[in-house]
Chains A and B, each alone.
Chain A
Amino acid sequence: MAEHAVVIGAGIVGAACAASLARLGHRVTVIEAGPVGGGATAAGMGHLVVMDDSPAQLALTSRSLELWAELAPRLPVAADYRTCGTLWVASDAEELAGILPKQAAYRTAGRAAGVLDAAELARIEPELRGGLCGGLRVPGDGVVYAPVAARFLLEHSGAALVRARVVNLAERKVRLDNGQTLAAEWVVVAGGAGASELLPDLPLRSRQGHLLITERGGPQVRHQLIELGYLKSAHASDADSVAFNVQPRPSGQLLIGSSRQFGRVSKEPDWPLLRRMLARAADYLPGLRRASALRIWTGQRSATPDHLPIIGPHPDRPGIYLALGHEGLGITAALGTAEVLAADLGGPASPLSAHDFGLRRFERQAVHA
């Protein structure tokens, strides 16, 4: 008989998990307090990007990109899926020196990556400022409009959608704010930043980001452009940071990021930080000064101490499965996450099972630290 599984959250991660559970033959109920795809999923940039900060991250993101490519032909047009590729831009010798190891890492993960010298960089992206040192082109990376992808995954899973807030998690049971209680063999917590309210002990912190979309008519670029200094500036510390990160939309608009900031949760932009972010973007892409800002918003990334998501059964709470803490990569990693879930629940094996995404790892890390 089909077992009942409940998924908390209809963001991109919850929707992907619902699709996975349904494929395993579970009867699935997704519980969502707000709009489908309306949390971090709506705020994100939708860059599908392979990242290599750690072997686990490289495995998760590169496997997820394969899964996105498999899904792509079925996605609705409005999901705006495209493989525009990523162009990592080096502005100095130090960043340039990081290119070859990065290329090697991508190749071990089976992802193509081509090194460009300064002249080639200027030829394929002529709007970039002069004086840059070179770049790494990762042609298999892409973009997707995640709210539509989330809705698609949810609808095609056949899962029932309940519009309510989960107020309590008990063993194999959830209680909703409408008074209802649902029993389930598995409760998958994919509530993004909201998961902390249900499970306050999770090591999650919100890391706010800003995005700006331009009107049509700005400079034309072909790839998602990111500075290689991104790794230095954005991930390294807890301080507020900005990095050049620009995405061309199919409409001819540009999406401009990125900023990272702990300890601030507000819909109101942090204007000084936003200006820093824009100044950085305009430094790399001077033509941006000609563009007009159409809309500015903030969003919350839910981050763990090691910047990797938590995917796996809760070690102390039977029947609870965690799929959260994806920080700035949850749209990319949603499909890989759902594959790990399936493998853990008796579905087909996943190459990702070789890596440790479980909650227990933080205890081990604390012991070894």
Chain B
Amino acid sequence: MTALETDLLIIGAGPAGLSAALSAAQGGAAVLLADLGPGPGGQIWRGAKASDGGESGTLLRGVQRQPNITALYGAQVALSERGPQGGHAVQFSTPQGPRRVLAQKIILASGATERFLPFPGWTLPGVVGAGGLQAMVKSGLDVRGARVLVAGSGPLLLAVAAGMRAAGAEVVGVAEQASPTRLLGFGLAAQRGGKVGEAAKLLWALRGVPYWPATYPVEASGGERLTQVELGGLTRRTLECDWLAAGFGLVPDTRLAALFGCALEGGAVKVGAWQQTSQPGIYAAGELTGIGGVDKARLEGSMAGYTATGQVERLRDLPTQLEQARHFQASLSRSFALRPSLRTLPAAGTLICRCEDVPHAALQACPSWTEAKLQTRCGMGTCQGRVCGPAAETLYGWTFTGVRPPLLPLPLADLLGE
């Protein structure tokens, strides 16, 4: 296997990774930007093109114009080891086979995943993650005329509902578990954070769609696939629908950082003032250091891009801007804090880990994530707890740890380097 050599490897080409690439390349460093998706953009700008208007187009054009940025798409990190001359050797799986990248420094920008909290019936076809349905529609799923119920928590629900409506679906309602007072708090913070325009646009797009605060899904039912959803909380009712798009907030996707041995804190990658992690030469930026949205991701990406390439003179007022963005992040997590009663949604037999068929009752008997893994095989499947890890953290108060290489199943021949 031949190796690609670079000064800086950036993993993740969302807002954070793209900003990092641009900042780093300004100093002349050779940058390799890798993402498992077919192109740049990450979650929010999935499918974006350099010809687009707005922020994403400007950023993509900037990245494209830098001759010292090389992009590697369709590339998923499998494992990492020490490089032959120091630094890191990272192995990617790509549709063209394995690729090895030798890098002196690394910026991790792998974003967030959506937290899904299990309730009876959640494994029925038709029940999907909110962001998941959004991604499916962006990749071509036809939802025209389909009845979609959006439920869970967080600002993403509104974006998803608006997206479904724009794609021709009939959005039957949006159920938000947070209470109206907390939501008001968020509204005020958004106003201070200059997000009013965005919010107004979303609300306009969703005019006429019922919005139920302090309400959450209690049970999904149907035969072969979903036909109805029972809501509980403030608004109790049963609704007929074809899709339930549910999400209970975003959580940092720390599996990649854990593979690199970076220390975590409160479920996020721990970073210093310059975005450096606990591992020498490895930086982290964006959602994986704490959920804060696109602005925080961009600023952290720039910061990491500059500091990883020794361009501190270019930081200017970045630290101050970042502080403001993180303020917004704190109000976000306060407003959408999950209500304790959500922990009682699963029934004894409700599956928590779908890969290994582990029910709620088996996990309730365990004192920790590690012991649950050992005794019940929870999180031992291919995804390494991507879905059940964050759910278990919320349901049982555990800390999700113990990622092992490879991050995705890897043919032994590739591992052997044949």
Chain A residues near B (Cβ < 8 Å): 34-38, 42, 78, 147-148, 151, 163, 214-215, 268-269, 271, 275, 278-279, 282, 288-297
Contacts and interface: CB of A to CB of B under 8 A. Distances in A.
Contacts of B261: 268
B409 A293 contact: yes
B416 interface: yes
A36 B415 contact: no
Contacts of A35: 367-368, 370-371, 374
B406 A296 contact: yes
A190 B375 CA distance: 20
9 contacts: A34-B370, A35-B374, A78-B375, A151-B375, A214-B412, A289-B411, A292-B410, A293-B411, A294-B406
Given A269-B405, A278-B412, A37 B374 contact: yes
Contact of A282 (B81, B374, B412, B417): B412
A36 B412 CA distance: 32
B371 A282 contact: no
A272 B352 CA distance: 37
A38 B404 contact: no
Interface centre among B375, B406, B418 (most CB of A within 10 A): B375
Nearest to A37: B374
Contacts of A37: 374-375
Contacts of A288: 412
Contacts of A268: 261
A293 B412 contact: yes
A317 B351 CA distance: 50
A275 B416 contact: yes
A292 B412 contact: yes
Interface centre among A38, A278, A290, A295 (most CB of B within 10 A): A295
A204 B367 CA distance: 31
A331 B371 CA distance: 18
B404 A295 contact: yes
Interface in B375-418: 375, 380, 382, 404-406, 409-413, 415-418
Question: Nearest 5 A-B pairs (CB), nearest first?
Answer: A35-B371, A292-B409, A147-B374, A271-B81, A289-B413
A38 B371 contact: yes
Given A35-B374, A163-B367, A296-B404, 5 more contacts: A42-B374, A78-B375, A215-B382, A282-B412, A295-B405
A294 B406 CA distance: 7
A215 B380 CA distance: 11
B371 A36 contact: yes
A293 B406 contact: yes
Nearest to B377: A78
B376 to A, nearest CB: 8
A163 B368 CA distance: 12
A296 B370 contact: no
B89 to A, nearest CB: 9
Given A151-B375, A279-B416, A293 B410 contact: yes
Interface of A is mostly: mixed
Interface of B: 79, 81, 261, 367-368, 370-371, 374-375, 380, 382, 404-406, 409-413, 415-418
Contacts of A293: 406, 409-412, 415
Contacts of A289: 411-413, 416, 418
Contacts of B417: 275
B375 A147 contact: yes
B415 to A, nearest CB: 6
A296 B412 contact: no
Contacts of A290: 411-413
A278 B375 CA distance: 28
Contacts of B405: 269, 295-296
A151 B370 CA distance: 14
A36 B409 CA distance: 28
Contacts of B370: 34-35, 38
A151 to B, nearest CB: 6
A290 B414 CA distance: 10
A248 B4 CA distance: 37
Nearest to B371: A35
A77 B417 CA distance: 38
A111 to B, nearest CB: 30
Contacts of B411: 289-293
Contacts of B416: 275, 278-279, 282, 289
Nearest to B369: A35
Contacts of B410: 292-293
A294 B371 contact: no
Contacts of B412: 214, 278, 282, 288-293
A183 to B, nearest CB: 26
Contacts of A148: 374-375
A269 B375 CA distance: 24
Given A292-B410, A294-B382, A296-B404, A278 B371 contact: no
A297 B415 contact: no
Contacts of A42: 374
A220 to B, nearest CB: 16
B90 to A, nearest CB: 12
Nearest to A146: B374
A168 B368 CA distance: 25
Nearest to A151: B375
A71 to B, nearest CB: 18
A194 to B, nearest CB: 16
Nearest to B417: A275
A284 B332 CA distance: 56
A146 to B, nearest CB: 9
Contacts of A269: 81, 405
A335 B412 CA distance: 36
Nearest to A295: B404
Nearest to A34: B370
Nearest to A291: B412
A328 to B, nearest CB: 20
A296 B80 CA distance: 12
